[in-house]
Structure 1
Amino acid sequence: MFKFLFAVVLLSALTGCATADFGSPNTYQRYDVQHIGQYEQATILRVRPITIENPSDTSGITSIVSAAAGAFLGSQVIGNGRGRYIAGALSGSASGLIAQRVSSVMSRHSGVEVFLRRANGQTVVVTQVDDQQYAPGQQVFLVSSGSGYRITH
């Protein structure tokens, strides 16, 4: 029973954290599929690494649920009498802290900031995840769609 409850708590904490969408140029959203987009060629001027952050759980609900479940499980499994309350408090605190740290780590992703010169001479900047490699002087496609701009080879 303990293993089952622990797995449920862990799964719910990680599921709440893993919903970050960082807008990969290789991944299209449902509303972008089967819609006309436009593209143009552009030249890369500069590429700079960045960190993209998606604060998906700013309410702290994941941490609160994990802390409560950890406190309950800790008080049921560890210790008897007054010791179980101490065990519950410690395991609840640890569960909440771990859930908060996992959420923080999973809400960040590495990305790039790419400076481009369009065919008309205008200079623009596009940020996106770094799942494609770019270099200054490279010719790329600047694609526009309902969800914004993306760069691709």
Structure 2
Amino acid sequence: MFKFLLYAVVLSILTGCASADFGSPNTYQRSDVQRIGQMEQATIIRVRQVTIESSSDSSGLTSFVSAAASAFLGSQVIGNGRGRYVSGALSGAAGAFISQHVSAAMSRHSGVEVFVRRANGQPVVVTQVDDQQFAPGEHVYLISSGSGYRITH
């Protein structure tokens, strides 16, 4: 039984990890590399912590794959005859449950909502992953590219 639980947890974690992409301002999309973007100076007005949620796996594919693999492994590890069907069903249900909860936890990331004032006086707001720290009054760069806007030092 311990082997099965270990297999289910590892498989669930691996399937949950594949779906989280939050677009860090320090990471560029391949389509943005070697392209001209726009840059302007701006001043931070306000910074607010937010939670960014990814909905990239709304199909439930990772839960289905995890349940199928867990059911197969459970039927191979535990029981003979009818017992292997019962253990396969229970392990499939447990694998799907674990995968669903791991995927939900992995789909959230902390971020910041940054209010800035452009050089022309226009206020704008950009939400991004919180891998850079900003403070009100700080001078930053507002960068636009094919992927959207980002703020950086």
- The answer, yes or no, to whether TM exceeds 0.5 is yes
Alignment partners' CA distance in 1, 2:41 and 2:58: 39
TM-score, normalising length: structure 1: 0.87
Instruction: Show the counterpart of 1:26.
Output: 26
2:52 and 2:109 in contact (8 A); partners too: yes
Say if 2:95 is the partner of 1:95. yes
The amino acid across from 2:46 in the alignment is R
Instruction: Show the counterpart of 2:133.
Output: 133
Distance 1:16 1:81, change over 3 A: same
2:47 and 2:113 in contact (8 A); partners too: yes
Instruction: Show the counterpart of 2:150.
Output: 150
Matched length: 148
Within a 5 Å distance, the mapping from 1:38-53 to structure 2 comes to 38-53=38-53
**Percentage of identical aligned residues:** 76
- What RMSD, in angstroms, separates the aligned Cα atoms of the two structures? 2.1
The amino acid across from 1:41 in the alignment is Q
2:24 and 2:131 in contact (8 A); partners too: yes
Unaligned runs of 5+ in 1: none
The amino acid across from 1:28 in the alignment is Y
* Partner-residue secondary structure (3-state), 1:113: strand
* Partner-residue secondary structure (3-state), 2:44: strand
How far does the alpha carbon of each residue in 1:49-92 deviate from its partner, in whole angstroms, 9 at most, with x for none?
11111112111111111111211221221122322222111111
Instruction: Show the counterpart of 1:36.
Output: 36
Unaligned runs of 5+ in 2: none
Alignment partners' CA distance in 2, 1:134 and 1:16: 30
Alignment partners' CA distance in 2, 1:19 and 1:73: 23
How far does the alpha carbon of each residue in 1:75-126 deviate from its partner, in whole angstroms, 9 at most, with x for none?
2211223222221111111111111112111121110000111111111000
* Partner-residue secondary structure (3-state), 2:125: strand
Instruction: Show the counterpart of 1:109.
Output: 109
Q: CA deviation at 1:24?
A: 1.0
Alignment partners' CA distance in 1, 2:121 and 2:88: 64
Q: CA deviation at 1:19?
A: 3.8
Alignment partners' CA distance in 2, 1:25 and 1:64: 33
Say if 2:16 is the partner of 1:10. no
TM-score, normalising length: structure 2: 0.87
Alignment partners' CA distance in 2, 1:137 and 1:28: 27
